[in-house]
Amino acid sequence: MQGNTAMDAQPQSGLRFYGPYMPLFLGLFFCHLGIGVTLSVLPFYVKNVLNGSDVDVGTVIAAIAVAVVAARPVAGRLSDRIGHKVLMLAGAVFCAVAGAAYVVAANVPTLIGVRLLHGVGEGCVFTAGATWLVQLAPTNRRGKIIGLYGVSMWSGVTLGALAGALVMQAAGFGAVWTVCAVLPLVGLAFIAMKAAPPKIPGAAKTALFPATAFAPGFTLALGSMGYAALASFVALYMTSKGIDNGILAFNVFGFAYVGSRLFLGHLPDQIGPVRVAFWSALVEAVGLGLLAFASSLPMAVAGGLLMGLGLSLFYPSLALVVVRNTEPAQHGAALGMFTSFWDLGVALGGVVAGFIATSYGYPPIYMAMLATALLSAAGVAWIGSPKRDVVAQQGRAAP
């Protein structure tokens, strides 16, 4: 695979090893920092400023995921064809424009439109960067590198959510939207620092919907629905119980997610991606169960913590299965399609959670998402059986 030989010769640990990837990590981080700022703010903006309903909250949060679902497969194919750097830079520009456009979102339909634009930018940035990293990374460290790329994203989302709440309280919504517009431009500068990778022969013939992405993708979608419920409604859920600072459950989710990637990110490479994905889904299910019955902030925080631990390695494990079953010239299209299932799950989870909240209240949301997490574990078991031993062996060898 082009671009991989030199990287294979590099040291396998230490700061020097990670140096070549830092511009991409930081570019993704700052774009998602802007996205994260909106997550803790939009539920209150929709409810208190736009006088929206719980369904409106779920739809607004999910709109970005709907756009990403549509954008990622196309972005993956474009990344293979026109170059990963070009598309990643374009995505950062879209994120900056969307950040500025929140200022004019004076009603729910307009806000949904802005979220769709933001989703296109996110889809381009993440997909192009992920494919770029797969091309650069040593074959025996791809799972780790994919995981660390996710750390960059979730660090941005987590810190952004915290920053958004602080900026909203200190200076209002206008200041929040200004921050959203500026942060992706910082990411753009980091992306521009990295030299463009060589193109892989045959990329012009890539399929838009590679078959290798579908089974892992459906399984990923089931797992990601619980995340949508946490992001959209945990703060409102805790407030309905008279508990302040419910957003801490989401913040703890992010820190657990990042911490697991940092300290356990080697597990998919070493013990097999299917095994790791299966247990990850079960841990997420336990966290959702705690949230369903949360009667205090510590219990909700514990639920968010377990969800973060569970979902942390779920994506890189299944992504590793996809990459190893896909031709190098189609990595962008396959990863784009696969990752779009995460956003499909988030979109469906947000809308479903909104309808459940309207009809039955907040606790049943998390019972429903507990069921989807268990289904995702069953999906992983299906992917790994009867070829579990083959997949585990592939997890220790180059494709």
pLDDT at 67: 86
List of residues 6+ apart from 35 with CB closer than 8 A = 64, 95, 118, 122, 156, 157, 160, 180
pLDDT for the residue numbered 240: 87
pLDDT in tens, 324-352: 888 777 777 788 788 878 878 887 898 89
* Coil/strand/helix, residue 45: helix
CB within 8 Å of 359: residues ≥ 6 apart: none
Domain 22-193+211-394 has CATH 3.40.50.2000: no
CA dist 227 and 236 (Å) reads 15
pLDDT tens across 281-308, in order?
Answer: 999 999 999 999 998 999 999 999 999 9
Cβ atoms of 264 and 148 closer than 8 Å: no
Does residue 1 sit in helix, strand or coil? coil
The pLDDT, as a whole number, for residue 114 is 92
Residue 314: closest CA among 279, 349, 287:
279
Task: Give the closest residue to 122 by CA, choosing from 242, 33, 220, 10.
Answer: 33
Contact assessment for residue 314 and residue 36, using Cβ atoms and an 8 Å cutoff: no
Give the span between the Cα atoms of 312 and 20, in whole angstroms. Answer: 23
Q: Which residues of the chain have pLDDT under 50?
A: 1-11, 388-399
| Residue 208 pLDDT | 60
pLDDT value for 346: 83
Q: pTM to 2 decimals? A: 0.71
Q: Are 57 and 227 in contact (CB under 8 A)?
A: no
Residue type, 50: L
> How many whole angstroms separate alpha carbon 347 and alpha carbon 69?
9
**Alpha-helix residue ranges (DSSP H) falling in the chain:** 5-8, 15-18, 22-39, 42-44, 54-82, 84-101, 108-136, 142-171, 173-193, 214-240, 247-264, 267-271, 273-292, 297-312, 314-324, 331-360, 363-384, 388-394
